[in-house]
Amino acid sequence: MLKKLLLACVCVAVLASAGSGLWVWQGLQGLKKPVVLEEPLLFDVPQGSSFIEVVGRLEAEGLVSDRLWLRLYGRLEPEQTRIKAGQYEFLDGMSPRDMIGVMVSGDTKHWYVQFIEGWTFKDMRAALAQAERLQKITGEWTSEQVMAAVGAEGEHPEGRFFPDTYAFTSSETDLDLLKRAFNRMETVLAEEWAAREEGLPYDNPYEALIMASIVERETGAPHEREQVAGVFVRRLQKGMRLQTDPTVIYGMGDSYQGRIGRKDLRTHTPYNTYRINGLPPTPIALPGREAIHAALHPDDGDALYFVARGDGTHKFSRTLAEHQKAVREFQLNRREDYRSSPAPKNSDSDEDAG
């Protein structure tokens, strides 16, 4: 009788143990099941948050039915408790274990802001002001304050930031991106300057940057950059004025309304290259690497003039007579679908380069 009782007890214990083991196994397996989300969910992990705190919030958000299983999972896999602070994006179909894995890897959610080639510093700051999830601390700063903060106190901001697409997290600020763009331009300019051709009419990398910004604004056709740069380089070498519309437009500031008149070409500003000799005092836009490369590797042709064809490209000419003929063909008798890239053109002077 006693043997039967002991046998029964053993059987009950074995069954209970097996049942408990099955229960635990099922609970842990449940952490692999996909969670249904109608839309991506942003989940914040503040600095200093513990694994237990995060697990409790996952339960509160309905991402796990019972925190017990995640706590047990953490006991069994201690390395999976080393969650990093940040903002994470959880997508439909992710399991609780997937979510933990994302937080352990520190794969935080990123947003993006783009600075376009040919933009001005003003355009770039406007893009930063509109960027979602980006912490804004420079919104009310002057240009001088921005330049001091990026490590270039007293320097002009135009053209000093590299145009590109920049990823950022919710913990970053607009100043962080400004510093990254500034440092990136410093690096690119130094690399291109080190590999420049000989005999160029620049005394320093900054003058090359000024030229690159003009090239960037003069053409949106990539294959023309070296040709445009070649025209301007030869004009500088011959002592000719650059006579390029984008510099005039920049000097006009907010008064520019889409068209340049004779009065604008005659008005003296530091940027009116119809009236000043050499380069303007600063860049006029954000040049990309290709424009910088073109400014430092201009073509070796003999053209001294160019005029917009109306299809986004230009007609290049060696002599003033050829150029005047091209102006009559493409400017004075414009086709209905005429366009000039990237800025509207109006060549009121027969001797302009472009």
Domains of the chain by start residue, with CATH: 18-105 (3.30.1490.480), 111-187 (no CATH), 198-332 (no CATH)
At 21, the pLDDT band (50, 70, 90 cuts) reads low
Cα 102 to Cα 70, 85, 156, 168, 186, distances in angstroms: 15, 11, 42, 17, 34
Q: Which two tokens stand for residue 257?
A: 């309304």
Lowest mean pLDDT among 25-39, 182-196, 286-300: 25-39
pLDDT 10s digits, 35-55:
888 888 889 898 888 999 998
Q: Please give the single-letter amino acid code of residue 164.
A: D
Average pLDDT value for residue range 65-72: 78
Q: Is it the case that residue 7 has pLDDT exceeding 50?
A: no
- Please state the pTM of the whole predicted model: 0.79
Residues 271, 280 contacting (CB under 8 angstroms): yes
CB atoms within 10 A of CB 93: 10
At 144, the pLDDT band (50, 70, 90 cuts) reads very high
Q: What is the spatial distance between Cα 244 and Cα 92, in angstroms, rounded to a whole number?
A: 54
At 350, the pLDDT band (50, 70, 90 cuts) reads very low
At 342, the pLDDT band (50, 70, 90 cuts) reads very low
Q: What is the spatial distance between Cα 56 and Cα 52, in angstroms, rounded to a whole number?
A: 6
Residue written as token pair 């299983």: 69
Q: How far apart are the first and last CA of the chain?
A: 111
